[in-house]
Structure 1
């Protein structure tokens, strides 16, 4: 029996410009705290944190094994969210593979708890605030050849706040233009031409997008930016604009993994961790990278006066996901044995294509408000440590309250967009 095709698209953007998180007093009762209080640890979003983290690091390891010399940047949250939404319509072994691949053990968490967790997380991250520009959304583009079940549509709308848009896949050029325009608009013009081609049998495309702009809590002064050397490897050196700031930063020196960690918070409880391995220790660091290691670093940082040099850069990631997900044991959903009968009532769908595109722009500051023009005055005699990110480093952007890893990456060459 021939199968109709479902495509998955994931788009993520992070531009460091402006960010702040405000709790929902009706749900979280969590005003101004960076960690849940006793009695709030059973919040739905916290129940899926471990699974999401497990997926994020396993995905990173698979990408890194194929991209040893390349920049890496992706949003594990974007990918997990879209796949979790697909699982609403999966059945039998297709469902069990999806949930297991996403890092969820049925003995530890129920399907309902998983979907409730994503629903709660999306509500937290999408909450409007004057200092936050963070939006995550899902959209289902459907052709009239396939009529999704009301139960599936209701669940997708309820748990994942999914929009449903009619699309004429018989005219693939029009459908491609419609989807690309939608993604470009939702990511403020940064993710363009996400869809290069559509399977002629496609009848449905699921899109997840994530867009974040975040101002540094301690912005860099562009007047201090100078061209510096970045050592891609032992034989390659490139020139980059190197931002510089002397201030108090949360840092940690992991002597076991031979790396330094610098935590740069945004105006929120979202933070970026920059991890600089010692010369020649990147492979050891990547092999050890895990949620437990990240938590150890975050819990071990101490405030220290640092002369920090950080390159200004733009990187992007573009991944054909099928091969990566199959290696993560999410296989059946891509085959003719796929059971996505919960979407249409019939086992007639499989995923033909899964694409992820992400974009990151790191710079001094997007705007020049009065607060960023403040002059920091410190005694000149205070000792400080110099940390210069002038060779390949890792970065992780995390929403600390929910333990959500929003973006992950490796900067091997900051001059390669």
Structure 2
């Protein structure tokens, strides 16, 4: 039988930096020296323990970002990679100083009285190490690339920290020719996401001197594929007035599930081969808002602990979902304002205080089908027809979390309101 892939998700979080004023450059040497993360020794200790310092904050950030997205995109599908956005902004914090840095880290849901900057960067260092683990049956790769104008002189410590802590590479580009720079960046993302995101960057501000790109590529096989022969036309109820026709996949089998009576929702965990699982959450009619307001780190860990293996007849629509976000707008709403303004202090990058972030964008994409390739068919059913299991049918708006089980990190998060929305 041919191995079939389940899905592709990718994503890019981008930050553009531009020069905002050249008047203050004379004073930048007077600043007191602060401790830099390069004085750390990132390989010490247990990587899992180190990344547990940041995972709860990353999860809180995911829900914070999700709420922002729902207020901006009412009635629209939502899909993003919280881990990608967090990593790109943590890398930005590495080059930020003073209030600019504190705002970015607090915007990422870190409590700076309990957690030191070093612990945060070390946590990301170990998280990237664990997510990019080789030999797993899941294809998961995440990295950072910094495109920097060839006239910009980055600090050696910044370059060293990017490589050591963020698996990052720095590419010297000619931003004087913005068409060429734009093509270089788009080609890089296209390559890193295996052709799935062709054009993350539509235009490039002529004053841009630096672009930070985080990409994540995810491809996995369901542990138990759906039988293609079972996929049939069915209706998905977008709301009380609108239904759309979808291709509904179905499988009768054992899944870990939980009925949350308090939040009136069904939770079904569908594992991928490897150490990643999708959590599908189906609220009862009219209960989506209540569920969204209740989303916290504690609720998700309660679900994870309460899951019990039982036989169900599961129905899930085939779908291809994507999301594109203006991160600048969303982070400003989260209180991260300085880095986007003339108050920005990004002197940790070049030693000069005249850079600011002019644009930040994010794009994510996911396809879900029977097993990933359309040709493989699985014949036979798992059970005899005489016993009828309970039916769980995802035929109305639902939430989706894709979680790396090893680190408990949310790789992707989405809300599917209409599986056919383009």
TM-score, length-scaled by structure 1: 0.88
In 1, the alpha carbon distance for the partners of 2:7 and 2:323 equals: 20
In 1, the alpha carbon distance for the partners of 2:343 and 2:366 equals: 37
Matched with 1:16 is 6
Equivalent position SS for 2:52: helix
Matched with 1:239 is 245
Structure 1 residue 164: deviation in Å?
1.0
Structure 1 residue 380: deviation in Å?
3.3
Matched with 1:348 is 354
In 2, the alpha carbon distance for the partners of 1:375 and 1:209 equals: 39
In 2, the alpha carbon distance for the partners of 1:279 and 1:373 equals: 33
Structure 1 residue 41: deviation in Å?
9.2
In 2, the alpha carbon distance for the partners of 1:321 and 1:17 equals: 25
Among 380, 395, 399, the alignment partner of 1:390 is: 395
In 1, the alpha carbon distance for the partners of 2:205 and 2:8 equals: 38
Among 261, 275, 300, the alignment partner of 1:255 is: 261
Structure 1 residue 290: deviation in Å?
1.5
Matched with 1:23 is none
Matched with 1:400 is 405
In 2, the alpha carbon distance for the partners of 1:319 and 1:136 equals: 19
In 2, the alpha carbon distance for the partners of 1:128 and 1:410 equals: 30
In 2, the alpha carbon distance for the partners of 1:215 and 1:121 equals: 22
Structure 1 residue 377: deviation in Å?
3.5
Among 284, 290, 298, the alignment partner of 1:292 is: 298
Structure 1 residue 131: deviation in Å?
1.9
In 2, the alpha carbon distance for the partners of 1:129 and 1:40 equals: 20
Spell out, residue by residue over 1:68-108, the C-alpha distance to the aligned partner (whole angstroms, 9 max, x if none): 21000000000000000011111110011111111111222
Among 180, 188, 203, the alignment partner of 1:182 is: 188
Among 90, 94, 102, the alignment partner of 1:96 is: 102
Spell out, residue by residue over 1:33-63, the C-alpha distance to the aligned partner (whole angstroms, 9 max, x if none): xxxxxx9697211111111111111000111
Cα contact 1:18–1:132 (8 A) shared by 2: no
TM-aligned CA distance change 1:331 to 1:16, over 3 Å: farther
Matched with 1:229 is 235
Structure 1 residue 384: deviation in Å?
0.9
Cα contact 2:252–2:381 (8 A) shared by 1: no
| Residues 56-95 of structure 1 mapped to structure 2, 5 A cutoff | 56-95=62-101
TM-aligned CA distance change 1:313 to 1:159, over 3 Å: same
Structure 1 runs of 4+ aligned residues shifted over 4 Å read: 39-42, 367-370
Structure 1 residue 316: deviation in Å?
0.4
Among 315, 324, 329, the alignment partner of 2:321 is: 315
Matched with 2:312 is 306
Which consecutive residues of structure 1, in runs of 5 or more, have no partner in the other structure?
A: 1-14, 20-26, 29-38
In 2, the alpha carbon distance for the partners of 1:85 and 1:377 equals: 48
Cα contact 2:47–2:130 (8 A) shared by 1: no
Spell out, residue by residue over 1:296-318, the C-alpha distance to the aligned partner (whole angstroms, 9 max, x if none): 11111111111101000001001
Cα contact 2:82–2:410 (8 A) shared by 1: yes
Structure 1 residue 182: deviation in Å?
0.7
Structure 1 residue 18: deviation in Å?
9.1
Q: CA RMSD in A?
A: 2.1
Spell out, residue by residue over 1:186-242, the C-alpha distance to the aligned partner (whole angstroms, 9 max, x if none): 111111211111111100000000000011111101111001101111111111100
